[in-house]
Structures are given as structure tokens and as C-alpha cells.
Amino acid sequence: MAYKVAVFDAKPYDKDTFNKVNEVYGFELSFFKEHLDRSNVVLAGGADAVCIFVNANVDAYVIDKLCAMGVKLIALRCAGFNNVDIAYAAGKIKVVRVPEYSSHAIAEHTLALMLCLNRKVHRAFIRTRDWNFSLNGFMGFDMYGKTVGVIGTGKIGKTVIGVLKGLGMNILAYDLYPDHAFAEKNDIKYTSLDEIYANSDVITLHCPLTKETEYLICEESIAKMKDGVMLINTGRGKLIHTKHLIEGLISQKVGYAGLDVYEEEGAYFYEDCSDSVLTDDVLARLLSFNNVILTSHQAFFTQEAMGNIADTTFENISDFFAGKEIKNEVVYQAK
Ligand code: NAD
């Protein structure tokens, strides 16, 4: 019997990759363009599993509905699981995720944001197309010898460190659970958040969004940073208090911001909104700075990562229905 999987937030590139990888697994796939939430959970009726992405909103209501309709598994096709109420799901429905698909994809996008901001490539691209070959305002700085603070040294943070060491940058690292063996082997230093804020020319975020990390970057932490600091966020939008970041950009305390995520991204990211009026004033203000680069949660988006995401997602679903051990289950841990 072919198990039925309802794939939400399905774009043409998702369909292509999932259909191709599914040739091996043989699931019955239905694709829905919506990201799963209260308003459309009925679409999952008849499915054995739902496959969801970063902007789904799986709260208690959605979980109850899924269970009532006989859906047995929530398969996240991403690493982060902050958008599912894991505590409420415990004992009701299993949740799996893709913890690793290509830390290189995210690390390389992180580097792209840093270099583009520093050397103003986004502005030069536009300027030269207008036959303006002036360099005014484009002076950058050598990354070599500068200090970068890496917050979160899991799979992605460690890959970022490897890449930035290649540029000859000094690394300061912070993690709730420091990996001292990694630090020794790679000659990097774990330190406190305050030390990172005080000493880093560039700060890059690679920790998950949790109650502890929500608005980690806010008025208070920004005040402790070096003048003109470059902030990079390829983690999750709510790691940064966007209005406080905007204040920092206006006062020029923050010199550059490279953002692949935004706290209210669910309403816009992955959609073509070019025919509508932008009603989010915070996003509009953010997009008005020429020292801000915003990408639409695309750090993961490489051929290799997409293939690995589909493969691990189908393997998770397959293992679950085969009654095998599910190694990528998201298990609720009561504090
Ligand atoms: P990981 O689990 O391997 O690493 C996360 C690290 O953060 C761990 O070392 C953990 O100890 C640390 N951490 C947890 N709480 C912390 C805290 N309060 N302060 C500091 N460190 C803390 O995860 P990963 O694969 O490296 O991914 C990191 C994050 O990147 C994910 O949670 C996800 O939100 C984000 N991500 C974004 C994209 C994208 O396309 N932009 C893609 C994948 C992942």
C-alpha cells in the first residue's frame, strides 16, 4: 500500500525534487501551495503524513485537527522546529525533521552576505548598469585579521568557522554547550556573549530559535557592540528584534545587516508579492537601507541540499510507517 503524504508549501522546485526522489520510495504525494496552518489544515484530510516547511504554523488546534483526521506523522523538511508546538504534540502525533542536509549551503550563503555587504557588490551591480563607474561610498575592509563572533557552533556554525578561518579571520565563539575538542583542534576561543559583542567586527547567528534566544539581538545587546558592526542572521528571524535593529542602523551603531530571515517572514517569503502593496512598515523600512541585504530564507537552496532534504524526509516517513527506529524524531524535553 502506498502511504499518502500531503506536501505543503510546495513550489515548482519542491515538486520537481520530491517527485524525482519519490521514484525510489513510491509514496502517493499531493502538493499544496499553502503553508500549513489553522485555515487550511482540512487539506490534509486522507493523508497519512504531512510534510511541512519553515513557515507552517502547527499549533495545538492544527495538531488536534491532524490527529482527528487520522494523520500520523508531521515530517518537517527543515532543521528548525520552532514552528511546531512540540510540547502539545508529545504523545499525540510524532514529529520528524531533517537535522542535516548541507551545512555548506548555509555557511556559503552566510559568507556571500558578508562579502557582498562589505564590498557593496549589490550596489555596484546597479551602479555599473547605469553607466556609473564611480567608487564613491564603496570602500570596504579586509576580512583578513578581523574578528568574527559566531553564536551557535553546531553543524552550521562549525562549517561557517571553517570558511571564515580560510579568510584569516579571528574567531570568537559562543554556544550553550561549547565543543572544547573542536575549539582546541581548530584553534578558536569560546567566550561569553558580552565578549563577543565587545570585540567582534562581524557577528553571525547560528543558534536555534528558543525561548532563551528569542530577541537575543536587541537594543541592550546592540548597545554592547562595536560601532559599525556587521550583523548576519541566517538562523531564524526572531533571533533579532527588528525594530531595535532598525534603530541601530539609523544611529549607525550597526554598519551592515545581512538577513536571510525576518521575524514576520511567513506572510511574504517564498511568494511573489510584487503586484501588492507592502503593508509591513518594519519590513519596508528595513528594505530602505542600502547597507541591508535581505534574502528570502534561501540559504539552504542548493541542488545538493534540496536532494538531501527530500531523501531524508522520505526516509523518515518510510522508517516511521515500517515501525523502524526513527532517528530524526523531534522529542519533547520537559524543562
Ligand atoms: P545544530 O543543532 O547543529 O546547532 C545549533 C547549536 O546552537 C548547538 O551547538 C546548540 O548547542 C547551540 N545553542 C542552542 N541554544 C543556544 C543558545 N541559547 N545560545 C547559543 N547557542 C545555543 O543546528 P544547525 O544545523 O547548526 O542549525 C542552526 C540553525 O540554523 C537552525 O536551528 C535553524 O534555525 C537555522 N537554519 C537556517 C537555514 C536557512 O536556510 N536560513 C537552514 C538550516 C538551518
Q: Do 246 and 235 belong together in one domain?
A: yes
What's the rounded Cα separation, in Å, for the pair 311 and 318? 10
- The pLDDT value recorded for residue 106 is 98
Q: Do 206 and 316 belong together in one domain?
A: no
Q: Do 70 and 172 belong together in one domain?
A: no
What's the rounded Cα separation, in Å, for the pair 287 and 232? 15
Cβ-in-10-Å burial (0-12, 13-18, 19+) of 32 comes to: middle
Does 331 fall in a domain?
no
CA distances (Å), origin 185, targets 106, 209, 255, 289, 307: 22, 28, 32, 40, 31
Number of H helices, E strands in the chain: 12, 12
Which of 49, 96, 94 is CA-nearest to residue 69?
A: 49
Cβ-in-10-Å burial (0-12, 13-18, 19+) of 251 comes to: exposed
Q: Do 204 and 314 belong together in one domain?
A: no
Does 126 fall in a domain?
yes
* 70 Cα to the center of ligand 1, angstroms: 32
Does 9 fall in a domain?
yes
Q: Do 136 and 50 belong together in one domain?
A: no
Q: Do 87 and 138 belong together in one domain?
A: no
Q: What one-letter code names the amino acid at 268? A: Y
Strand partners, 230: 202, 256
Q: Do 317 and 242 belong together in one domain?
A: no
- The pLDDT value recorded for residue 334 is 79
Does 333 fall in a domain?
no
Ligand 1 pocket, Cβ-based, cut-off 6 angstroms: 79-80, 106, 151-157, 174-177, 206-210, 212-213, 234-236, 260-261, 297, 299-300
251: domain range? 103-294
* Phi (first) and psi of residue 5, to 5 degrees: -120, 120
Strand partners, 84: 58
Against a cut of 0.80, is the pTM above it? yes
What's the rounded Cα separation, in Å, for the pair 96 and 7? 14
How big is the chain by its Cα radius of gyration, in Å?
A: 21
What CATH number is given to the structural domain containing 179? Answer: 3.40.50.720
What's the rounded Cα separation, in Å, for the pair 207 and 108? 17
Nearest-atom index, ligand 1, CA of 212: 18
For the stretch 115-129, pLDDT in tens is 999 999 999 999 999
Cell 523600512, residue?
A: 285
Q: Cell for 274?
A: 510584487
Does the annotation count 123 as an active-site position?
A: no
Q: How many domains does the chain have?
A: 2
| Domain final position from 277, 294, 311 | 294
Q: How many residues comprise the chain?
A: 335
ipTM of the complex: 0.99
CA distances (Å), origin 50, targets 3, 93, 175: 11, 11, 33
Which of 56, 48, 46, 42 is CA-nearest to residue 9?
A: 56
- The pLDDT value recorded for residue 166 is 97
Nearest CA to ligand 1 atom 43: 79
The one catalytic residue in 236, 241, 244, 263 is 236
Q: Cell for 208?
A: 536555534
CB atoms within 10 A of CB 147: 15
Q: Do 167 and 86 belong together in one domain?
A: no
The DSSP secondary structure of 5-74, one letter per residue, reads EEE-S--HHHHHHHHHHHHHH--EEEE-SSPPSTTTGGGGTT-SEEEE-TT--B-HHHHHHHHHTT--EE
Q: Do 136 and 279 belong together in one domain?
A: yes
Q: Do 113 and 182 belong together in one domain?
A: yes
Q: Do 76 and 200 belong together in one domain?
A: no
Residues 89-117 as b or e (16 or more Cβ within 10 Å = b): bbeebbbbbbbebbbbbbbebbbbbbebb
Nearest CA to ligand 1 atom 3: 154
What's the rounded Cα separation, in Å, for the pair 42 and 297? 27
Does 180 fall in a domain?
yes
Does 138 fall in a domain?
yes
Q: Do 85 and 182 belong together in one domain?
A: no
Does the annotation count 265 as an active-site position?
A: yes
* 78 Cα to the center of ligand 1, angstroms: 12
- The pLDDT value recorded for residue 335 is 66
* 236 Cα to the center of ligand 1, angstroms: 9
Nearest-atom index, ligand 1, CA of 260: 41
- Report which secondary-structure segment, H or E, holds 219: helix 219-223
Nearest CA to ligand 1 atom 42: 300
Does the annotation count 119 as an active-site position?
A: no
Contacts of 62 (CB under 8 A, 6+ apart): 36, 37, 38, 41
Per-residue pLDDT tens, the chain, 335 aa: give them.
799 999 999 999 999 999 999 999 999 999 999 999 999 999 999 999 999 999 999 999 999 999 999 999 999 999 989 999 999 999 999 999 999 999 999 999 999 999 999 999 999 999 999 999 999 999 999 999 999 999 999 999 999 999 999 999 999 999 999 999 999 999 999 999 999 999 999 999 999 999 999 999 999 999 999 999 999 999 999 999 999 999 999 999 999 999 999 999 988 999 999 999 999 999 999 999 999 999 999 999 999 999 999 999 999 999 999 999 999 999 998 76
Does 28 fall in a domain?
yes
Does 332 fall in a domain?
no
